[in-house]
C-alpha cells in the first residue's frame, strides 16, 4: 500500500518473500530494525528497481505508522489486560501501577508518530536532514549531500503526498495493529496448548508486557534473554504454573526458529535479481502443497461413507 502511494505498483505476492526474509533479520540481528530496513531497501532496488532513497523513505513512513499502531496496541492491552497486569504488578512490584505505566508509555510512540507525521506532511523533512548533514565538517559527506539536494526535494514531495493520503495510511496503520493482535491470538493458542487460561485478554496482557520489554531491549537478537525472562516472570504471576510457563517459552521459540529458517532460506534465494519469482513460487508451494496432500484425506475421513 505504501509503495502504491509512492507510485510503485508491486504485487503483494512478490513482496511476501522479501517481507519474510527481512523479518528474519529483524528478529535475529542486533538492532534488527536497522538491518531489516536496509536489507528491504536493497532488495526492492535489486528486484523492482525502487531507488534506495525511496526505500529509505518507505522505512520512514513504515516507522511512522508502526509507532501509531503500537500506541493503540499498548493502550488496548493495558485496558483489556488490566486485571492480569495488575496481579503481576502486585506480586512483583508491590502495587497495582503496571497497567497505568503501560498505558502512559503508549504516549511515547504516539507523540513520536505525531511529530514524524507533521514532518512528513510539512514537506521538508528530508531537506532538513540533508542540510543538517551538509553542515557537518566532513568533506566526503558534504560532497554526497550536495549531490543529494535535488533528491531530497523529490523525496519530500512524495512524503507529503503520502502524508495527505489519510485513508490509505490509516488502513496501513490498522494492518500493523492487526499483526500485533494476531500475535496475541497466536499466544492465546499456545497458552491453551500448554494448559494456560484460554483467554485472549490474558494473552493480550502478556504480549503487551513483553512488547514493552522487547522495545527496551531491542539490541539483543530476538530479544534473547529479555523476552524469555519476561515470559518466565509474567506468566506465573498471572496464574500459570512455572512448568507451563517454561513449556510456553519453548513452543514460542520453536515456532520462531521455524520462521527464521524459512526467512534466511528466502534471503539466500533473493540474492539473485531473477530469484524473486522463484521465492514467491516457493512460498506458494509451502502453503499449497500440504493442503493439497492432506485436505482430501481429512475430507474422506470425516464425510459419511455413503456421501
Question: Can you tell me the distance from the alpha carbon of 98 to that of 80, in angstroms, rounded to the nearest whole number?
Answer: 13
Question: Can you tell me the distance from the alpha carbon of 217 to that of 198, in angstroms, rounded to the nearest whole number?
Answer: 29
* Model confidence band, residue 275 (pLDDT cutoffs 50, 70, 90): low
Provide the H-helix boundaries in 106-148: 107-122, 125-134, 139-147
Confidence at residue 285, expressed as pLDDT on a 0 to 100 scale: 52
Question: Can you tell me the distance from the alpha carbon of 303 to that of 217, in angstroms, rounded to the nearest whole number?
Answer: 51
Task: Please give the grid coordinates belonging to residue 74.
Answer: 499498548
Is 74 within a domain?
yes
How much is the pTM? 0.75
- Burial of 24 (C-beta count, 10 Å sphere; 0-12/13-18/19+): buried
Q: Is the pLDDT of residue 303 over 70?
A: no
Nearest residue to 212 (alpha-carbon basis) of 110, 101, 64: 101
Residue ranges with strand state E in the chain: none
Tell me the C-alpha to C-alpha distance, in Å, between residue 236 and each of 92, 186, 251.
11, 19, 16
* Model confidence band, residue 295 (pLDDT cutoffs 50, 70, 90): very low
Confidence at residue 302, expressed as pLDDT on a 0 to 100 scale: 40
Q: Is the pLDDT of residue 87 over 80?
A: no
Helix (H) or strand (E) holding 77, with range, is helix 52-80
Confidence at residue 90, expressed as pLDDT on a 0 to 100 scale: 80
Q: For residue range 13-54, list pLDDT tens digits in order.
A: 888 888 899 988 888 887 778 888 888 888 888 888 887 777
Helix (H) or strand (E) holding 3, with range, is helix 2-5
Q: Are 66 and 33 in contact (CB under 8 A)?
A: no
Question: Can you tell me the distance from the alpha carbon of 129 to that of 234, in angstroms, rounded to the nearest whole number?
Answer: 41
Q: For residue range 196-251, list pLDDT tens digits in order.
A: 777 788 788 878 877 776 666 555 555 566 677 778 777 777 677 888 888 888 99
Confidence at residue 139, expressed as pLDDT on a 0 to 100 scale: 80
Q: Could you give the number of structural domains in the chain?
A: 1
How many degrees, rounded to 5, is the angle at CA 255 between CA 229 and CA 182?
A: 85
Q: Is the pLDDT of residue 304 over 70?
A: no
Q: Is 294 left (phi over 0), alpha (psi -120 to 50) or beta?
A: alpha
Confidence at residue 307, expressed as pLDDT on a 0 to 100 scale: 41
Q: For residue range 127-170, list pLDDT tens digits in order.
A: 777 778 778 777 877 777 777 777 777 777 777 887 788 888 88
Confidence at residue 274, expressed as pLDDT on a 0 to 100 scale: 57
Q: Is the pLDDT of residue 182 over 60?
A: yes
For 271, the domain range is: 2-302
Instruction: Calculate the CA 83 to chain-centre distance.
Output: 27
How many degrees, rounded to 5, is the angle at CA 171 between CA 166 and CA 177?
A: 125
Question: Can you tell me the distance from the alpha carbon of 216 to that of 219, in angstroms, rounded to the nearest whole number?
Answer: 8
Is 145 within a domain?
yes
Q: Are 101 and 84 in contact (CB under 8 A)?
A: no
Task: Please give the grid coordinates belonging to residue 191.
Answer: 497458552
CB neighbours of 154 closer than 8 A, spacing ≥ 6? none
- Burial of 205 (C-beta count, 10 Å sphere; 0-12/13-18/19+): buried
Q: Is the pLDDT of residue 89 over 90?
A: no
> What is the pLDDT averaged over residues 102-109?
88
Q: Is the pLDDT of residue 261 over 90?
A: yes
Q: When comparing pLDDT for 62 and 276, which is higher?
A: 62
pLDDT more than 70, % of the chain: 82
Is 307 within a domain?
no
Confidence at residue 178, expressed as pLDDT on a 0 to 100 scale: 92
* Model confidence band, residue 276 (pLDDT cutoffs 50, 70, 90): low
Confidence at residue 290, expressed as pLDDT on a 0 to 100 scale: 46
What is the chain's Cα-based Rg? 22
**CA dihedral sign of residues 117, 120, 124, 127:** positive
140-144, 172-176, 214-218, 285-289: the lowest-pLDDT one: 285-289
| Mean confidence (pLDDT) of the chain | 78
Is 166 within a domain?
yes
Amino acid at each position: 500500500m505504501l509503495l502504491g502511494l509512492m507510485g510503485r505498483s508491486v504485487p503483494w505476492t512478490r513482496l511476501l518473500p522479501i517481507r519474510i526474509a527481512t523479518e528474519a533479520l529483524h528478529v535475529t540481528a542486533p538492532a534488527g530494525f536497522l538491518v531489516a530496513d536496509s536489507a528491504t531497501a536493497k532488495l526492492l532496488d535489486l528486484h523492482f528497481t525502487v531507488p534506495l532513497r525511496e526505500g529509505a523513505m518507505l522505512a520512514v513512513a513504515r516507522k511512522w505508522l508502526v509507532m501509531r499502531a503500537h500506541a493503540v496496541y499498548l493502550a488496548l492491552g493495558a485496558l483489556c489486560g488490566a486485571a492480569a497486569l495488575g496481579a503481576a504488578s502486585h506480586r512483583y512490584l508491590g502495587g497495582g501501577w503496571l497497567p497505568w505505566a503501560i498505558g502512559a508509555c503508549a504516549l511515547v510512540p504516539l507523540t513520536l508518530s505525531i511529530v514524524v507525521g507533521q514532518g512528513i506532511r510539512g514537506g521538508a523533512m528530508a531537506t532538513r536532514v540533508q542540510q543538517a548533514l551538509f553542515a557537518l565538517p566532513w568533506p566526503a559527506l558534504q560532497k554526497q549531500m550536495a549531490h543529494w539536494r535535488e533528491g531530497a526535494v523529490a523525496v519530500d514531495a512524495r512524503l507529503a503526498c503520502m502524508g495527505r493520503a489519510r485513508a490509505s495510511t490509516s488502513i496501513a496503520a490498522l494492518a500493523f495493529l492487526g499483526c500485533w493482535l494476531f500475535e496475541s491470538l497466536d499466544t492465546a493458542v499456545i497458552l491453551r496448548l500448554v494448559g494456560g487460561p484460554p483467554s485472549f485478554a490474558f494473552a493480550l496482557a502478556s504480549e503487551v508486557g513483553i512488547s514493552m520489554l522487547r522495545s527496551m531491549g531491542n539490541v539483543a537478537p530476538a530479544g534473547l534473554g529479555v523476552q524469555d525472562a519476561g515470559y518466565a516472570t509474567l506468566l506465573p504471576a498471572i496464574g500459570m504454573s512455572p512448568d507451563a510457563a517454561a513449556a510456553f517459552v519453548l513452543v514460542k521459540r520453536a515456532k520462531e526458529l521455524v520462521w527464521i529458517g524459512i526467512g534466511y532460506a528466502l534471503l539466500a534465494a533473493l540474492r539473485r535479481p531473477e530469484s524473486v519469482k522463484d521465492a514467491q513460487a516457493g512460498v506458494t508451494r509451502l502453503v499449497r502443497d500440504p493442503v493439497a496432500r492432506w485436505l482430501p484425506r481429512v475430507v474422506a475421513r470425516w464425510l459419511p461413507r455413503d456421501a
